[in-house]
Amino acid sequence: MYSSYDVIGQELDVLEGNEKGFLRWLSKKLVFKSFTFSFEVPAAVFLRSKVFCDDIESVCEYVFNPEYLIDVLYDDFMENIKVYGNDIPRMYQMIKSRDQRLKLVSGQKEKVLNPERCVSIHCEISRKDALRLEFMLSEIDTIYSVHYMIEDVLSIIFCDFVYELQQGNLKQITRDLLKRFLENEGE
């Protein structure tokens, strides 16, 4: 499984006809068009992202919160997959090099894993994108024996953004992010 929804498994069940009668019809006609994924980040990372979102909100005068932030970051990540998705080594390096989750908490791994110090964030992903991402993660697992789930990738791209924000490396990215958000608001 490469997500809590196991989209590949669901698709295979439909293709193999493992569902009977009404359930099979329902899965073909009314399949989930999107999924709401939940992932956790350290509370300090969430709070830093909230301060950033408040700054964006004051500039653009639209509601902007960490869940909007992950939507924009995820959209950007999916654009990379569409461009480089067949280049599995490149995609693996992109995920691996962006994994800042443990660097954001002062030293001890246990702090990241302590549920009292984590905050859950939600991100809606289309079925088509979830399937594309699961297949990419499956191929990474096959080639590199490294198992990521969609929830891991969401946490990685969110934490990487906050890490880069803390390092002061995001001036242009912030402008691009704001521009993308405002374009999406106009749709």
- Is the pLDDT at 87 greater than 80? The verdict is yes
The predicted pLDDT at position 176 comes to 74
Confidence of residue 145 (pLDDT cuts 50, 70, 90): very high
- Identify the band that residue 74 occupies on the pLDDT scale cut at 50, 70 and 90: very high
Q: What distance in Å separates the CA atoms of residue 70 and residue 157, rounded to the nearest whole number?
A: 8
pLDDT beyond 60 at 37: yes
To the question of pTM greater than 0.75 for the whole model, the response is: yes
One-letter amino acid for residue 72 of the chain: V
Average pLDDT over residues 110-119: 61
Q: What is the 3-state secondary structure (H, E, C) of 10-60?
A: HHHHHHHCCCCHHHHHHHHHCCCCEEEEEEEEEHHHHHHHHHHHHHHHHHH
Q: Where are the domains of the chain?
A: 7-186
Stretch 7-25: mean pLDDT? 72
